[in-house]
Amino acid sequence: MRLRLTLAFLTLSVLLSCTGSFAQSQILPDHFSGWQPSSHAPVLMWPRGDAAAKLDSHPEQTQALVEGGLVKIEEHYYNRAGNELAVRLFKLRDPSGAYQVYTTRLRTGMTPSHLGSVSASGRDGSAILLGNFVIDATKDASIEDLSALVKVLQPQADGTPLPPIPSYLPIQGRAAGSERYALGPAAFRAAAAALGRSDSAPLVDVAGFNSGAEAMFAKYKSGRDEATLLLIEYPTPQLAELHLRHLQRALHDAKLGTSSVERKGSLLSIVLAPTSAEYAEKLRGAVNYETEVTWNEPSSTATDPPITSTLVKIIIATGMFMMVTLVLGIAFGGVRVITKRLFPGKVFDRPAQMEVLQLGLSGKPIDPRDMY
């Protein structure tokens, strides 16, 4: 009996400690905008053991979650007037990893909305990127409800800016919900599979993710023309040029002959399987990328000195120059006079060693001593 009581006490203590730790680490609120906790208990999942493997039915998406720096996942259930709402929150290490996870949650047909950093809504629900948080909500929540949820979570989110590569994608003709961002090989393969371009998966081996590359996919359609645009950005133009050659060879080996790749600065644009070469060129020309040179060295403003200060410096410099010439002149003349006095006719004024050319215009011969 004592053993049973001891085990029961220990079990209760563990449950209470787990509940307390969950409450301390909980990110999603218990209620917001009239939504109250449901009968389903909140779920806290960590990317350890088999927990991460149960998040998605597709292993590629699970690997993309872990690759993006998954910290933890919360799942809460809310109820309001008989309606039930499920909200799942992904917490990542930084907004770049969160954006990668956010694009894996997008589905074709989801239209952009004005929630958080980036968001999209569709018939099945909404996906919201808020700093290093990614929020999945079912369709029962309205835009006003999700705005209230975002307002509650905003102070806890990381405010670091998102990567710039999504802004390079052309807007015209882009299929809503087809954007996919990749920081590593797992997300690249998952994006290629989700867009029906599994044949481009071999490019991941030469894309250069170990060199700091970032990739961005999107599908485009204009009339009868369609293609998939792949952008890969590198830290330097030199790395982009190096991987350009590797990618050209990989496109040829993968029998993607209709695809083309072009470099502009540090960005590579690859048009996968375009219906025509003209549409590929048009799509590549619409990429919103321009190289910029930023001069960040310290600078100072040049100003003219006062005229009085300039005149004083000129007078001082002229006086010093006159003093130097006077001293040198006295020294030169004094040495010559003293030498002539001490050694007359031996150093200077040596008539026997001096010769004077005479033109003979006068009958009087020239005496060299007359020159002194």
303 in a structural domain: no
Is residue 8 included in any domain, yes or no? Answer: no
CATH number of the CATH domain containing 104: 3.40.1000
Same domain, 190 and 280: yes
Query: Per the domain annotation, does 300 fall within a domain?
Result: no
Output the pLDDT for position 10: 44
If asked whether residues 149 and 75 sit together in one domain, one would say: yes
Q: HSE on the CB side for 78, CA within 13 Å?
A: 22
Which residues, given as ranges, of the chain have pLDDT below 50?
Answer: 1, 3-23, 49-51, 53, 372
Element containing residue 118 per DSSP (H, E): strand 118-121
Where among 289, 304, 327 does a domain terminate?
A: 289
**What number of CA atoms fall less than 13 Å from residue 173's CA on the CB side?**
20
SS (H, E, C) 154-167: HHHCCCCCCCCHHH
Boundary (domain end) residue, out of 123, 145, 161: 161
Strand partners, 72: 91
First-to-final CA distance of the chain: 139
Instruction: Please report whether residue 311 resides in a domain.
Output: no
Q: Which structure tokens are listed for 248?
A: 């050209």
C-alpha 243: how far from chain center: 19
304 in a structural domain:
no
pLDDT attached to residue 134: 94
Tell me: do 139 and 38 sit in the same domain. Answer: yes
**Within-domain flag for 4:** no
156 with 178, same domain: the answer is no
Rounded Cα distance, 86 and 149, in Å: 13
**Is residue 9 assigned to a domain?**
no
Q: Counting beta carbons within 10 angstroms of the beta carbon of residue 294, is it exposed (0 to 12), middle (13 to 18) or buried (19 or more)?
A: exposed
Total number of domains constituting the chain: 3
- Is 156 in the same domain as 193? no
Tell whether 179 and 261 lie within a shared domain.
yes
Residue 167 and residue 138 share a domain: no
Amino acid identity of residue 335, one-letter, is V
Contact 266, 235 (CB under 8 A): yes
Q: Is 172 found in the same domain as 154?
A: no
Whether 298 maps to a domain, the answer reads no
Query: Within this chain, do residues 209 and 184 fall inside the same structural domain, yes or no?
Result: yes
Q: Based on the fold, state whether residues 284 and 362 are members of the same structural domain.
A: no
- Whether residue 232 is found in the same domain as residue 128: no
Global pTM reads: 0.69
Question: Same structural domain for residues 188 and 235?
Answer: yes
Write down the pLDDT at residue 286.
Answer: 92
Instruction: Please identify, among 135, 161, 187, the residue that sits at the C-terminal boundary of a domain.
Output: 161
Domain around 350: 317-371
Report which residue type is found at 243.
H
